[in-house]
């Protein structure tokens, strides 16, 4: 499926305009009665805002949502979107989220925003995972543009870092204000740089997940059905 729409950049921030138009396109997949996963980050926030507006306008009804971060939960509450948990609803009809990289097979890297664990839990429970990106996020090989975030427990995290090096990574602990960044779940994130990208994402994902102390990684492989891509040339849709 392919669909393009010209972007109007006559006013405001061109990148913000791209993100908003891509989010508006993504929300076309939302239907009344759905259980939605609400992703995290600036682009996914535009989609959350649009869903809230549609609920207020009556264009949508009987929608409930599961947020993937405390930040998204706060935004959804402000938008008046009814929230539930995965304990309440075991399956999610549609999740709209962003990504840091997307390859030609629609495998993605996520987690630079710090919410990869909840995002992956929700994605695994989702029937249709939809990702919104701008065209700078498109890559031939995962790990070639951005590091792969790996969430690790605080106890023994340096040992986890040492073992991540054996996967070919250069892991760097994520910092904020001079201290290690702590996720919503109380863990650290090691940003794993793979020079030249990852040759075998599946094998790398397995190797990383087997390391003691690793909670989750940012490789989302075979989990995405639709990608909405924004560029100055228009909005494009790719599907598996």
Q: Give the pLDDT score at 12.
A: 62
- The rounded distance, in Å, linking the Cα atoms of 147 and 194 is 7
Which residue, among 22, 62, 56, 20, has the nearest Cα to 227 in the 3D structure?
Answer: 22
Active site residue 119: yes
Catalytic residue among 101, 119, 129, 216: 119
pLDDT in tens, 68-93: 999 999 999 999 999 999 999 989 99
Q: What angle do CA 184, 189, 194 make, to 5 degrees?
A: 145
Whole-model pTM over 0.85: yes
CA distance 141 to 103: 6
The domain defined by 148-217 carries CATH number 3.30.70.260: yes
Domain ranges of the chain: 14-139+221-239, 148-217
CA 70 – CA 73 distance, rounded (Å): 5
Query: Which of 15-19, 34-38, 192-196 bottoms out in mean pLDDT, i.e. has the lowest?
Result: 15-19
**What are 182-240's pLDDT values in tens digits?**
999 999 999 999 999 999 999 999 999 999 999 999 999 999 999 999 998 999 999 99
Looking at domain 14-139+221-239, which CATH architecture does it have? 3-Layer(aba) Sandwich (3.40)
pLDDT-derived band of residue 16, with 50, 70 and 90 as boundaries?
A: confident
Provide the b/e sequence for 10-36 (b: ≥16 CB within 10 Å).
Answer: eeeeeeebbbbbbbbbbbebbeeebbb
State mean pLDDT over 60-66.
98
């Amino acid at each position: 499926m392919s669909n393009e729409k010209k972007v109007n950049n006559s006013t405001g921030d061109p990148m913000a305009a791209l993100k908003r138009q891509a989010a508006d396109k993504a929300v076309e997949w939302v239907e009344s009665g759905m259980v939605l996963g609400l992703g995290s980050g600036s682009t996914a926030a535009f989609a959350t805002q649009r869903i809230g507006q549609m609920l207020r306008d009556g264009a949508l009804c009987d929608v409930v949502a599961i947020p993937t971060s405390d930040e998204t939960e706060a935004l959804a509450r402000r938008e008046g979107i009814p929230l539930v948990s995965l304990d309440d609803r075991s399956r999610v009809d549609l999740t709209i989220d962003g990504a840091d990289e997307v390859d030609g097979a629609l495998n993605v890297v996520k987690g630079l925003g710090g919410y990869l664990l909840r995002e992956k839990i929700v994605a695994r429970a989702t029937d249709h995972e939809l990702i919104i990106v701008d065209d700078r996020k498109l890559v031939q090989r995962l790990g070639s543009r951005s590091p792969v975030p790996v969430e690790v427990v605080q106890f023994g995290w340096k040992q986890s870092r040492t073992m991540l090096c054996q996967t070919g990574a250069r892991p760097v602990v994520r910092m904020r204000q001079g201290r290690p960044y702590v996720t919503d779940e109380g863990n650290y994130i090691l940003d794993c740089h793979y020079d030249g990208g990852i040759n075998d994402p599946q094998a790398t994902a397995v190797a990383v997940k087997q390391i003691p102390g690793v909670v989750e990684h940012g490789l989302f492989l075979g989990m995405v059905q639709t990608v909405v891509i924004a560029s100055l040339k228009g909005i494009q849709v790719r599907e598996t």
